[in-house]
């Protein structure tokens, strides 16, 4: 995948989220020592292979369901299928 070093770092974190678990944008930002959960969200949104790099496992603050390129309903179905919702 092509992207900036920051985007690639975010995508690497996404690959560490286990099946059936979630992580927030803020948690990813802290892991990368980044001050902006919004910047993380931008990188997550540029993931062009979401079936391989599981961006549906990323939640908003407090576990809120936030944007997903495939649509929120699909995100909910994926999380339920994994037992993470």
The catalytic residue positions are 55
Q: Contact at 8 Å (CB) between 53 and 47?
A: yes
Residues making up the chain, counted from first to last: 85
Backbone angles phi, psi at 27, to 5 degrees: -65, -40
Segment (H or E) for 19: none
Nearest-5° angle of CA 35, CA 37, CA 42?
Answer: 120
């Amino acid at each position: 995948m092509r992207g900036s070093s920051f985007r690639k770092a975010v995508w690497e974190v996404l690959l560490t989220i286990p099946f059936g678990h979630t992580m927030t944008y803020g948690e990813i930002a802290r892991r990368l020592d980044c001050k902006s959960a919004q910047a993380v969200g931008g990188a997550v949104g540029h993931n062009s292979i979401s079936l391989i790099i599981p961006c549906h496992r990323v939640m908003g603050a407090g576990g809120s369901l936030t944007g997903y390129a495939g649509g929120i309903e699909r995100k909910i179905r994926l999380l339920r299928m994994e037992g993470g919702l």
